Amino acid sequence: MALTLHSSASFINPKDTKNPAKTSDQEFSISLSFPKSLKLAVCRLRAKNSIHDVQISQHDKPPLFAMKSEVFSTREERLHEVGAVEGHKSGSRVPVFIMLPLDTVSMSGSLNRAKALNASLMALKSAGVEGVMVDAWWGLVEKDGPSKYNWQGYTELVEMVKRHGLKLQVVMSFHQCGGNVGDSCNIPLPPWVLEEISKNPDLVYTDRSGRRNPEYISLGCDSLPVLRGRTPIQVYSDYMMSFREQFKDYLGGVIVEIQVGMGPCGELRYPSYPETNGTWRFPGIGEFQCYDKYMKASLQASAVAIGKNEWGQNGPHDAGNYHQFPEDTGFFKREGTWNTEYGQFFLQWYSAKLLEHGDRILAAAAAIFQATGAKLSGKVAGIHWHYKTRSHAAELTAGYYNTRFRDGYIPIVHMLGKHGTVLNFTCMEMRDGEQPASANCSPEGLVRQVKMAAKAAKTQLAGENALERYDEGAFQQVFATSRSDSGNGLSAFTYLRMNKRLFDGENWRNLVNFVKSMEGGRKVGLSECDSSGSDLYVGFIKEKNVKAKEAALV
């Protein structure tokens, strides 16, 4: 038996946004083949909105791929062995979600490449994933003017996800897309917001040299009516209320989680390491972002309050620049200013402002989404470089006051837990041994610390991979990290990201085995049309020569 979907494959290259019209001629087929001996009745599935037709018919050729091979069993066993070492609780389940492309909804507000997306969701469902994640971009939804919301593309997506029996995580993305790791398209803040920024550049984060960062509104003006009579917190709240009203019939059912963006890349942090125009590159320490007039006024007021007026004149003068290492600076070196009375004052103020920002947004979100059945989550960056040094410089510039002598993640998880918010943490796929020795990295140590902080605060912890990884080793590391008998395992994992490479043969097999292991080894779900309990096989087929390119065993 074979099921073949013909769909646009333009999602394969998310950077190609200049000529969307040509995508209609670029098609791929996803072929779901069944063992030849299996006798299934021919059935036709037709999407409600007639996006595509799916035909299941008899196929005289042998299956695209053999049945479960020894190599799959071996990989699965290895994953379980890793879990046993880390305290894997047998049979426990960690649902897996897949991030959709950043440009899933187009700049015009409609659903991008609907046919390709529909086919992809079918493949993901057959692989046993729980659901998908999508960014609800502020710059798209409210681009036509204050309080003028366009949810059209997202409405189409929610309906499509529902038809496939998947769940949806939606990110309230109040940040710009573009200029950071993995950004494959550019979606700026709403035009009317950019107009306000052009009139008042202090609305955005600013570094010591005066460089402005348009990724996100500075938290220094959270409570000031700087956006045409509304405060940023009010604008974010109105946006979330509009979302709630638009999707009230789906919240808690199809839409199971709302991730609340609280900074650049949607993360609760300062934009201390922007990649735009080479401003920062790994593993630089980054720079403090406290030089807009609102942040400076707050710093000065805090210094005056403790009788140290001179401490409020500016940020640290010896903190170096984006590309430097800790020992190259006076502030972050081993016996540097960071550990003096002044350094402690500044870092406490800087990190407290970030916590207050998160607290304000999450308080609003909790009030808006209470009783809807949807979980709230907040994302924290996995800044693992220079983690082995005393000062943890890269974390400090991002706003995480975490040093050799102070746990900076306990206050964060307590703040999240206060609002019943899941902590979503990145870099779950990384191993210490994969990092350059000179960068003093320890992603494994960082993840352990965050897991212990979440456990102590009784705050749920979910995870993501920081970089696009498709190899078996990365999946094994996530699996090992996700499990624990001591009560600090992951509640869910969201994989970054769906694209053409994900469906390539070896990558897809790795993902499918990973999902199955995270599900506690249970058999993945099958299409409603397949009542015989067969295994499904997924592959990409070239139109012209009908040559099958192996993509996945499900």
175 labelled binding-site residue: yes
> Cα–Cα distance between 377 and 530 in angstroms, integer?
35
Count, residues in the chain: 554
135 labelled binding-site residue: yes
497 labelled binding-site residue: yes
Contacts of 269 (CB under 8 A, 6+ apart): 263, 354, 380, 381, 383, 398, 399, 400
15 labelled binding-site residue: no
User: Which among 311, 461, 329, 336 has a CA at the least distance from the CA of 403?
Assistant: 336
> Cα–Cα distance between 138 and 361 in angstroms, integer?
15
DSSP secondary structure, 118-161, as one string = HHHHHHHHHHT--EEEEEEEHHHHTTTSTT----HHHHHHHHHH
Q: Which long-range contacts does 26-29 make (Cβ < 8 Å, 24+ apart)?
A: 27/543, 28/116, 28/119, 28/540, 28/541, 28/543, 29/4, 29/5, 29/540, 29/541, 29/543
202 labelled binding-site residue: no
Question: Could you list the active site residues?
Answer: 267, 464
The answer to whether 442 touches 382, Cβ cutoff 8 Å, is: no
Which tokens sit at 242? 């509009």
> Cα–Cα distance between 54 and 166 in angstroms, integer?
18
Angle at 445 between CA 391 and CA 449, to 5 degrees: 85
User: How many Å separate Cα 202 from the centre of its chain?
Assistant: 28
53 labelled binding-site residue: no
88 labelled binding-site residue: no
Q: Is 31 helix (H, G, I), strand (E, B) or coil?
A: strand
465 labelled binding-site residue: yes
The region that residue 355 occupies, defined by phi over 0 for left and psi between -120 and 50 for alpha, beta otherwise, is alpha
Q: Residue 40 carries which side chain, given as an amino acid letter?
A: L
60 labelled binding-site residue: no
Binding-site members for substrate are 135, 175, 183, 379, 384, 426, 465-466, 497
Binding-site sequence positions: 135, 175, 183, 379, 384, 426, 465-466, 497
